[in-house]
Chains A and B, each alone.
Chain A
């Protein structure tokens, strides 16, 4: 049984997470540059992502309670929805390692501030190593 772990994390936590996963024998993963917004709607509070310049102002606040004036303001902006830069890590693991991997990712990435990210666990039907044609557990 294979599982896919999708973790959306802070940019500065990619290297520590990779090192930690390496230590338990999961060297292979896919990293994607993504943008995210959470329950706060992408509002930048200084602690969400320290790499975002403080002078960036969240414009999604304007859209919370739409009035005709704020609607016009929003639509005159080229980028009214504010996104916070994040990294997405995808790791395929044997299902027996699920708890270990989830706990590890959470402990490495936890700062206690909003914006720490999410971890998703989803079932995976098939995996294939293209070079050798190995399938399933042998391919990861």
Chain B
């Protein structure tokens, strides 16, 4: 299994979630995070914004579903400007549902 962490624009959160839900991935976890990228934040006039608000969505999925999810996130979160965010994929060896104790590998 893989954990997909997508850091997206807060205003794109709904689009991404609805797109994932439409493809059959309703389950995810959301965290409000702050970050900056290659551009080291943004500069508006004399003011330098170092920490930009973003939304991190965490989805754990089977290996075969990862390309689909990444593509859905990419299409939904894409604007074409700096700050669109990143998608990270990391390994998860086991996942358990607490209610049933069911294990997925």
Contact = CB atoms under 8 A, between A and B. Distances in A.
20 contacts: A34-B29, A34-B31, A34-B58, A35-B29, A36-B28, A36-B29, A37-B27, A37-B28, A66-B22, A81-B17, A86-B29, A88-B29, A111-B99, A116-B99, A117-B98, A120-B3, A120-B92, A120-B95, A122-B92, A123-B91
Nearest to A83: B30
Contacts of A114: 99
B6 to A, nearest CB: 14
Nearest to A105: B98
Interface of B: 3, 13-14, 17-18, 21-22, 26-31, 58, 60, 90-99, 101
A42 to B, nearest CB: 8
Interface of A: 3, 6-9, 32-42, 60, 63, 66, 74, 79-81, 83, 86, 88, 102, 105-106, 109-123
B26 A38 contact: yes
* 6 closest Cβ pairs, A-B complex: A116-B98, A41-B26, A116-B99, A119-B96, A121-B94, A36-B29
Contacts of B101: 106, 110
A45 to B, nearest CB: 13
